[in-house]
């Protein structure tokens, strides 16, 4: 029997919130709207846009339960242990002070022992010296993302029991909402990956094989037309062979794109994984030097950068005859990163480059797509140096 997920979730949350066995507390009078909130979270496509108005609504509700001097401000923290990133969601009209944001980022990315518990209390006197006292409740936990509800009390701080009692219904509704949202996100991500894998397999089995065959045949035709007898055909067959090869290379690239996936769009980790993969295929000493303090490239930029870096690594392993290779990523300005890929090999012979070599052309195309500057030049000492310069958003703080 087919059932619409939205309908099902609506029924599920309504049933949950209408349960008469729930403990009564100051916010339980408006349980129906808490059910709506959980439902909104569970079904949202854009969590960033959904949370600010929702938190505002919750704060307004809670203001009735706390006294006037116990001002409760809510934040929801998404913390990704694998990428060391922290996202703080807050009501749109109350942007937290940068001190609080930095303190939260430090606390949630440093792997404190406190995070193994489901509740937190932090203030200026605690080890972590929080500027404003806060209570924290863990909403969901996974390898990719931990989500916390934070209740910050800039003025008078109520006791832990009092806060817990007043926030239980909110906490439970959010737990339900985020748990369903996380499952939904996981399903979408799985579906996208599997769709990509199907496309890759189809491309590999059909188009790439036909193009591979055409590539060999057109190359043979071209070599036969090199003799004087067919000199008039020569320009045509040369073009034909070159473009067939180009189409073949682009198809192979598409297959690679479909197969390549990045965990959490984390470029630096993906490059590190690629370096480990390529170093298994050679005796070259690879040195990976990532000086970025955090991940600041967009998913689109990260993907194109990863392809370019992988093409460079592949060239180093296949053609460079190098013994050492170095990959350095650094932030040269607050809005610019540079990636250096260097080797001490025989260098790039641009004058005698093969006509059928499209790797460099594809690298340039990929760089253009993200407005990056790609420079391929002889290394001042020996070998080849590739420098990729990319502007990144300045709002990554």
Partner 1 sequence: MNLLKWPQSVFNKDNSFNLDDSNLHETLFNSLGDVVMIIDQNHRISLVNTCWEKITGVAASSSHNLLFTDFLHPEDVKIWNDIIRKVFNSHGSELVWFRIISADGNIHWCEMRVQQLRPNEHYPLSATLCDITPQIRNEQIRNASHRSLQSLVNRLPAMLYRSRNNTSWSMEYVSSGCKELTGLSSEELINQPQISYGELIHEEDAGYVWNQVQFCLQTQQVFELQYRLNQANGKCITVKEKGRGLYSESGMILGVEGFVFQFE
Among 281, 350, 357, 377, binds partner 1 (CB under 8 A): 281
Q: Compute the least distance from the CB of residue 42 to partner 1, in Å.
A: 35
Identify the H or E element spanning 134. strand 134-141
**185/199 Cα distance (integer angstroms):** 21
- Tokens representing 316 are 């180093």
* Sole window of 32-40, 141-149, 163-171, 281-289 interacting with partner 1 (rule: CB under 8 A): 281-289
Q: Using CA of residue 365, residue 269, residue 274, residue 326, what is the dihedral sign?
A: positive
The binder of partner 1 chosen from 119, 282, 298, 389 (CB under 8 A): 282
What mask of x and - would describe binding to partner 1 in positions 288 to 327, judged by CB under 8 A?
A: -xxxxx-----------------------------x----
The verdict on 332 binding partner 1 (CB under 8 A) reads no
Q: Does 256 bind partner 1 (CB under 8 A)?
A: no
219 or 292: whose CB is closer to partner 1?
292
Q: Does 396 bind partner 1 (CB under 8 A)?
A: no
Please tell me whether residue 280 binds partner 1 under the rule CB under 8 A. Answer: yes
Please identify, using beta-carbon distances, which residue of 78 and 286 lies nearer to partner 1. 286
Contact region with partner 1 (CB under 8 A), list: 33-41, 244-252, 278-286, 358-366: 278-286
Q: Please give the span between the terminal C-alpha atoms of the chain, in angstroms, as a whole number.
A: 48
Smaller CB distance to partner 1: residue 257 or 268?
A: 268
287 binds partner 1 (CB under 8 A): yes
- The residues facing 120 across adjacent strands are 136
Question: Alpha-carbon dihedral of residues 224, 225, 228, 230, nearest 10 degrees?
Answer: 130
Question: Look-up: residue for tokens 């470029």?
Answer: 267
Q: Give the binding range for partner 1 (CB under 8 A) out of 57-65, 117-125, 286-294, 349-357.
A: 286-294
Residue in 112, 134, 109, 114 with CA at minimum distance from that of residue 123: 134
* Closest separation in Å from C-beta 330 to partner 1: 8
Burial class (CB in 10 A: 0-12, 13-18, 19+), 300: exposed
CB of 283 to partner 1, least distance (A): 3
* Strand-strand pairing, 373-378 and 324-333: unpaired
Residue 365 interacts with partner 1 (CB under 8 A)?
A: no
Instruction: Give the residue with the Cβ less far from partner 1, 159 or 280.
Output: 280
Chain centroid to CA 321: 34
Nearer to partner 1, 293 or 354 (CB): 293
Closer CB to partner 1, 164 or 294, in the complex: 294
225 binding partner 1? (CB under 8 A): no
Cα–Cα separations (whole angstroms), residue 119 to 84, 104, 144, 149: 21, 15, 20, 9
Q: Are 116 and 108 in contact (CB under 8 A)?
A: no
Q: Which of residues 131-150 bind partner 1 (CB under 8 A)?
A: none
Q: Which is nearer to partner 1, 14 or 109 (CB)?
A: 109
The distance from CA 315 to its chain's CA centroid, rounded to whole angstroms, is 26
285 near partner 1 (CB under 8 A): yes
CB 293, min distance to partner 1, A: 5
Both structure tokens of 266: 């984390």
DSSP state, residue 395: T
How many residues in the shown chain lie near partner 1 by CB under 8 A? 16
Whether 312 and 386 have beta carbons less than 8 Å apart is answered as yes
Report yes or no: 47 and 61 within 8 Å, Cβ to Cβ. Answer: no
Q: What character string, x for contact with partner 1 (CB under 8 A) and - otherwise, covers 90-119?
A: --------------------x---------
Helix axes 299-315, 359-369, angle to 10 degrees: 160
Coil vs helix vs strand at 72: coil
Non-local (6+) Cβ contacts of 330 within 8 A are: 291, 292, 337, 338
Q: What stretch of H or E contains 173? A: helix 160-202
Shortest spacing between CB 341 and partner 1, in angstroms: 16
- When the beta carbons of 25 and 282 are compared against partner 1, the nearer one is 282
Residues that bind partner 1 in the complex, under the rule CB under 8 A: 110, 279-287, 289-293, 323
């Amino acid at each position: 029997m087919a059932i619409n997920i939205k309908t099902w979730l609506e029924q599920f949350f309504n049933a949950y919130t209408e349960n008469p066995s729930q403990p009564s507390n100051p916010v339980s009078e408006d349980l129906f709207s808490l059910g709506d909130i959980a439902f909104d979270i569970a079904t949202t496509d854009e969590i960033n846009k959904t949370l600010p108005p929702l938190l505002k609504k919750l704060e307004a509700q809670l203001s009735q339960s706390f006294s006037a001097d116990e001002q409760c401000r809510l934040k929801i923290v998404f913390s990704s242990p694998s990428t060391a990133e922290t996202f703080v969601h807050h009501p749109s009209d109350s942007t937290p002070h940068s001190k609080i944001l930095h303190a939260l980022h430090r606390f949630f990315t440093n792997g404190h022992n406190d995070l193994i518990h489901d509740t937190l209390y932090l203030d200026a006197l605690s080890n972590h010296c929080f500027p404003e006292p806060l209570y924290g409740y863990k909403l969901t936990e996974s390898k990719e993302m931990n989500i916390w509800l934070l209740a910050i009390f800039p003025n008078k701080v109520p006791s832990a029991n009092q806060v817990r009692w007043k926030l239980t219904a909110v906490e439970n509704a959010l737990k339900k909402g985020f748990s369903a949202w996380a499952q939904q996100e996981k399903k979408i991500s799985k579906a996208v990956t599997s769709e990509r894998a199907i496309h890759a397999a189809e491309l590999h089995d059909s188009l790439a094989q036909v193009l591979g065959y055409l590539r060999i045949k057109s190359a043979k035709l071209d070599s036969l037309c090199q003799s004087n007898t067919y000199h008039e055909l020569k320009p045509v067959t040369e073009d034909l062979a070159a473009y067939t090869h180009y189409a073949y290379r682009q198809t192979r690239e598409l297959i690679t794109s479909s197969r390549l996936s990045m965990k959490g769009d984390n470029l630096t980790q993906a490059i590190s994984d690629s370096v480990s993969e390529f170093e298994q295929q050679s005796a070259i000493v690879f040195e990976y030097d990532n000086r970025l303090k955090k991940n600041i490239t967009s998913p689109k930029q990260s993907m194109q950068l990863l392809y370019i870096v992988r093409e460079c690594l592949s060239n180093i392993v296949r053609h460079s005859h190098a013994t050492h290779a170095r990959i350095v990523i650094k932030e040269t300005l607050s809005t610019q990163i540079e990636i250096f890929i260097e080797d001490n090999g025989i260098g790039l012979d641009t004058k005698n480059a093969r006509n059928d070599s499209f790797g460099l052309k594809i690298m340039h195309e990929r760089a253009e797509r993200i407005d990056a500057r790609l420079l391929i030049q002889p290394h001042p000492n020996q070998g080849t140096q590739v420098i990729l310069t990319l502007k990144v958003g300045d709002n990554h703080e």
